[in-house]
Structure formats: structure tokens, C-alpha cells
Amino acid sequence: MKKLIAGAMLLGASSLAFAQPGCGVGAMIWKGQSGIAPHVLAATTNGTFGNQTFGMTTGTLGCDTNESVQSMAMYMDSNIDKVARDMSRGEGENLDTLAVLLNVEQGDRAEFRKLLQDNFATIFPSSDTTSDEAVSAIVALLESHQSFSKYVA
């Protein structure tokens, strides 16, 4: 029971770090609600049902996304462990693949790798982080960054 509560708190806390839950079933159910409770419930619903990657890859569930993000989400579904390993080191073939899928220009790739490495704990807050959560965190991180927001717009 303690693990369940700790997991729910971690999921909620990590979701809060990403601003709004953005899209997915949770965001649709709690749309128009303000305050921390609806926000946490929306993020928890999205995390429970794991629907944000589906929404991002199909452009459904209120997800407004581009082909690059769709490609990254599909890649993350199959390679999340490899991406996490490379991201923690700040280098590697899988991290370079993410950069290519997001059309990150060659001159920006070193900074891209550094940005993801510096924010590894936010993107992968636990060993149980799903690809939905990681993709959402990466998109939120890039959207908030002046130089990289163009790659997820």
C-alpha cells in the first residue's frame, strides 16, 4: 500500500512539473477545471491509461502534434530503456535517433543531448516511467526552451 501511495504521489508530483497534462483522456475529462486537484487527476488518468502516446501518434484525444513528435513517440514505445540509458550518459545512438526524428539541426544536437541529460531526472523520475510520460516530459521540456521549441511546434 505504501508503494502505491508513493507511486501516486510521485506520478502526481512529476506531472505537476510538466505544467498542464496537455492532451489525453485525463485532459479531456478534466478540461475547463482549474486548480491542483483536477490537474493531478488529469495527469493521473493519463498515466493510468497510458493514452498520451496513442493521442500523440494519431493526433486524437485532444493532442495537437506534428509528425516529428509522432515519430519520436513511436520510437520511444519500442526503445524506452535504450533511450533512457543513452540520455543518462548524454550520448549514444538512441539519443541521436531522437534528434533525427525531431529534425534537430546538426548544430543543435550537442546542446539537445546536454539538455536531455541535464533533465534526465525530470524525464525519467522513476524506473517505472512509461514512454507516454517520457514523451510528454520531453515535449514539455522542448516547448519551454527558446531554442528547441521550434522542433515540437
d(CA 49, CA 41): 12
Mean predicted confidence (pLDDT) in 91-105:
95
Mean predicted confidence (pLDDT) in 130-134:
89
In the predicted structure, residue 98 carries a pLDDT above the cut 90: yes
Mean predicted confidence (pLDDT) in 122-126:
94
Q: Which residue has the higher pLDDT, 54 or 108?
A: 108
In the 8-state DSSP scheme, what is residue 31? T
Q: Which residue has the higher pLDDT, 82 or 46?
A: 82
- Is 0.85 surpassed by the pTM of this model? no
In the 8-state DSSP scheme, what is residue 60? -
Burial of 102 per CB tally in 10 Å (0-12, 13-18, 19+): buried
Question: How many CA within 13 A on the CB side of residue 35?
Answer: 4
In the predicted structure, residue 9 carries a pLDDT above the cut 50: no
Cell of 46: 493519463
Is residue 117 within 8 Å of 99, Cβ to Cβ? no
In the block, which residue shows the cell 490537474?
A: 39
d(CA 24, CA 65): 12
- Say which residues have a Cβ less than 8 Å from residue 13's Cβ, sequence separation at least 6: 125
Neighbours of 77 (CB within 10 A): 17
Q: How much is the pLDDT for 114?
A: 97
Mean predicted confidence (pLDDT) in 83-91:
97
Ordered by start, the domain boundaries in the chain are 25-58, 67-151
- Least reliable range by pLDDT among 10-24, 39-53, 82-96: 10-24
pLDDT over 70 percentage in the chain: 81
36-57 exposure pattern, b = at least 16 Cβ within 10 A, e = fewer: eebbbbbbbbbbeeebbbbbbb
